[in-house]
Amino acid sequence: MTHKVAILGASGYTGAELVRLIAQHPNIEIAALSAERKAGMTMAEVFPHLRHMDLPVLCKIDEIDFTGIDLCFCALPHKTSQEVIAALPKTLKIVDLSADFRLRDPAEYEKWYGNAHAALDQQKEAVYGLTEFYREEIKSARLVAGTGCNAATGQFALRPLIAAGVIDLDDIILDLKCAVSGAGRSLKENLLHAELSEGYNAYAIGGTHRHLGEFDQEFSKLAGRPVKVQFTPHLVPANRGILATVYVKGDAQAIYDTFAKAYSDEPFIELLPFGEAPSSHHVRGSNFCHIGVTQDRIEGRAIVIAALDNLTKGSSGQALQNANLMLGEDETTGLMMAPLFP
Amino acid sequence: MTHKVAILGASGYTGAELVRLIAQHPNIEIAALSAERKAGMTMAEVFPHLRHMDLPVLCKIDEIDFTGIDLCFCALPHKTSQEVIAALPKTLKIVDLSADFRLRDPAEYEKWYGNAHAALDQQKEAVYGLTEFYREEIKSARLVAGTGCNAATGQFALRPLIAAGVIDLDDIILDLKCAVSGAGRSLKENLLHAELSEGYNAYAIGGTHRHLGEFDQEFSKLAGRPVKVQFTPHLVPANRGILATVYVKGDAQAIYDTFAKAYSDEPFIELLPFGEAPSSHHVRGSNFCHIGVTQDRIEGRAIVIAALDNLTKGSSGQALQNANLMLGEDETTGLMMAPLFP
Amino acid sequence: MTHKVAILGASGYTGAELVRLIAQHPNIEIAALSAERKAGMTMAEVFPHLRHMDLPVLCKIDEIDFTGIDLCFCALPHKTSQEVIAALPKTLKIVDLSADFRLRDPAEYEKWYGNAHAALDQQKEAVYGLTEFYREEIKSARLVAGTGCNAATGQFALRPLIAAGVIDLDDIILDLKCAVSGAGRSLKENLLHAELSEGYNAYAIGGTHRHLGEFDQEFSKLAGRPVKVQFTPHLVPANRGILATVYVKGDAQAIYDTFAKAYSDEPFIELLPFGEAPSSHHVRGSNFCHIGVTQDRIEGRAIVIAALDNLTKGSSGQALQNANLMLGEDETTGLMMAPLFP
Amino acid sequence: MTHKVAILGASGYTGAELVRLIAQHPNIEIAALSAERKAGMTMAEVFPHLRHMDLPVLCKIDEIDFTGIDLCFCALPHKTSQEVIAALPKTLKIVDLSADFRLRDPAEYEKWYGNAHAALDQQKEAVYGLTEFYREEIKSARLVAGTGCNAATGQFALRPLIAAGVIDLDDIILDLKCAVSGAGRSLKENLLHAELSEGYNAYAIGGTHRHLGEFDQEFSKLAGRPVKVQFTPHLVPANRGILATVYVKGDAQAIYDTFAKAYSDEPFIELLPFGEAPSSHHVRGSNFCHIGVTQDRIEGRAIVIAALDNLTKGSSGQALQNANLMLGEDETTGLMMAPLFP
- Indicate whether C160 pLDDT > 90: yes
Question: Sign of the C-alpha dihedral, residues D199, D205, D210, D213?
Answer: positive
* C251 part of contact set with chain B, CB < 8 Å: no
| Cβ neighbours of C192 (radius 10 Å) | 26
Neighbours of chain D (3+ CB pairs under 8 A): A, B, C
- Indicate whether A1 pLDDT > 90: no
Is D149 a residue of the active site?
yes
DSSP C332: T
- C-chain residue closest to A240, CA distance: C194
**Segments in chain B below pLDDT 70:** none
Residue D176's identity, in one-letter code, is L
Catalytic positions of A, written as ranges:
149
CA dihedral C128, C129, C132, C135 (to 10 degrees): 80
The pLDDT, as a whole number, for residue C1 is 79
Residues 6+ apart with CB under 8 A from B166: B250, B251, B254, B255, B258
| Cβ neighbours of D107 (radius 10 Å) | 10
* B340 part of contact set with chain A, CB < 8 Å: yes
Angle at B89 between CA B87 and CA B91, to 5 degrees: 135
Nearest Cα to C63, choosing from C31, C92, C95?
Answer: C31
Question: What is the average per-residue pLDDT within C185-199?
Answer: 94
- Mean pLDDT of all residues belonging to chain B: 97
Neighbours of chain A (3+ CB pairs under 8 A): B, C, D
SS3 D279: strand
Question: What is the average per-residue pLDDT within A178-200?
Answer: 95
- C-chain residue closest to D237, CA distance: C197
The pLDDT, as a whole number, for residue B1 is 79
Express each pLDDT in C39-70 by its tens digit. Answer: 999 999 999 999 999 999 999 999 999 999 99
- How much of chain A, in percent, has pLDDT values that exceed 70? 100
- Indicate whether A19 pLDDT > 90: yes
Q: Residue D73 in contact with residue D319, Cβ under 8 Å?
A: yes
* B337 part of contact set with chain A, CB < 8 Å: yes
Cα radius of gyration (chain A): 19
Nearest Cα to C304, choosing from C269, C271, C282, C281?
Answer: C271
- Indicate whether D1 pLDDT > 90: no
* A302 part of contact set with chain B, CB < 8 Å: no
The pLDDT, as a whole number, for residue A266 is 98
Q: Which of 197-226 (B) contact C at CB < 8 A? A: 197-203, 205-208, 212
Residues of B in contact with A336 (CB under 8 A): 23-24
Please indicate whether, in this complex, the C-beta atoms of B342 and C212 are within 8 angstroms of each other.
no
Domain annotation for chain B: domains and CATH numbers: 3-146+313-326 (3.40.50.720), 150-309 (3.30.360.10)
The pLDDT, as a whole number, for residue C139 is 98
C241 to A296, C235, C314, D306: CA distances (angstroms): 43, 10, 9, 29
* D41 part of contact set with chain B, CB < 8 Å: no
Q: How close does chain A come to B138, measured CA to CA in Å?
A: 25
Task: Give the ipTM of the model, two decimals please.
Answer: 0.97
Please indicate whether, in this complex, the C-beta atoms of A193 and C197 are within 8 angstroms of each other.
yes
| Cβ neighbours of A9 (radius 10 Å) | 23
Express each pLDDT in A210-228 by its tens digit. Answer: 999 999 999 999 999 999 9
* D1 part of contact set with chain A, CB < 8 Å: no
Please indicate whether, in this complex, the C-beta atoms of D49 and C339 are within 8 angstroms of each other.
yes
- How much of chain C, in percent, has pLDDT values that exceed 70? 100
Please indicate whether, in this complex, the C-beta atoms of C193 and A188 are within 8 angstroms of each other.
no
Q: Residue A102 in contact with residue A214, Cβ under 8 Å?
A: yes
For A62-99, the three-class secondary structure string (H helix, E strand, C coil) is: HHCCCCCCCEEEECCCCCHHHHHHHHCCCCCEEEECCC
The pLDDT, as a whole number, for residue C138 is 98
Nearest Cα to A215, choosing from A272, A265, A158, A263?
Answer: A158
* B1 part of contact set with chain D, CB < 8 Å: no
Q: How close does chain C come to B333, measured CA to CA in Å?
A: 27
Please indicate whether, in this complex, the C-beta atoms of D340 and C285 are within 8 angstroms of each other.
yes
- C-chain residue closest to D342, CA distance: C239
Angle at D207 between CA D204 and CA D208, to 5 degrees: 50
Q: Residue C338 in contact with residue C286, Cβ under 8 Å?
A: yes
Of A187, A198, A237, the CB nearest to C187: A187
- C-chain residue closest to D198, CA distance: C198
The pLDDT, as a whole number, for residue C22 is 97
- C-chain residue closest to D47, CA distance: C282
Residues of C in contact with D240 (CB under 8 A): 342
- How much of chain A, in percent, has pLDDT values that exceed 90? 99
Of A187, A188, A198, the CB nearest to C239: A198
Q: How close does chain A come to D311, measured CA to CA in Å?
A: 14
Neighbours of chain B (3+ CB pairs under 8 A): A, C, D
| Cβ neighbours of C114 (radius 10 Å) | 9
C-alpha C285: how far from its chain's center? 13
- Indicate whether A241 pLDDT > 90: yes
Please indicate whether, in this complex, the C-beta atoms of D193 and B193 are within 8 angstroms of each other.
yes
Express each pLDDT in D248-273 by its tens digit. Answer: 999 999 999 999 999 999 999 999 99
Q: In DSSP terms, which residues pair with D295 in a beta bridge?
A: D302
Question: What is the average per-residue pLDDT within A275-279?
Answer: 98
Residues of B in contact with A239 (CB under 8 A): 342
Question: What is the average per-residue pLDDT within A72-98?
Answer: 97
Angle at D74 between CA D72 and CA D78, to 5 degrees: 155
At D89, the pLDDT band (50, 70, 90 cuts) reads very high
Please indicate whether, in this complex, the C-beta atoms of A337 and B337 are within 8 angstroms of each other.
yes
Strand-pair category, C230-235 with D71-74: unpaired
Q: How close does chain C come to B286, measured CA to CA in Å?
A: 14
Express each pLDDT in D170-183 by its tens digit. Answer: 999 999 999 999 99
At D33, the pLDDT band (50, 70, 90 cuts) reads very high
Please indicate whether, in this complex, the C-beta atoms of B296 and C207 are within 8 angstroms of each other.
yes
The pLDDT, as a whole number, for residue C181 is 97
| Cβ neighbours of A185 (radius 10 Å) | 19
- Indicate whether A9 pLDDT > 90: yes
The pLDDT, as a whole number, for residue C256 is 98
Q: In DSSP terms, which residues pair with C175 in a beta bridge?
A: C232, C245
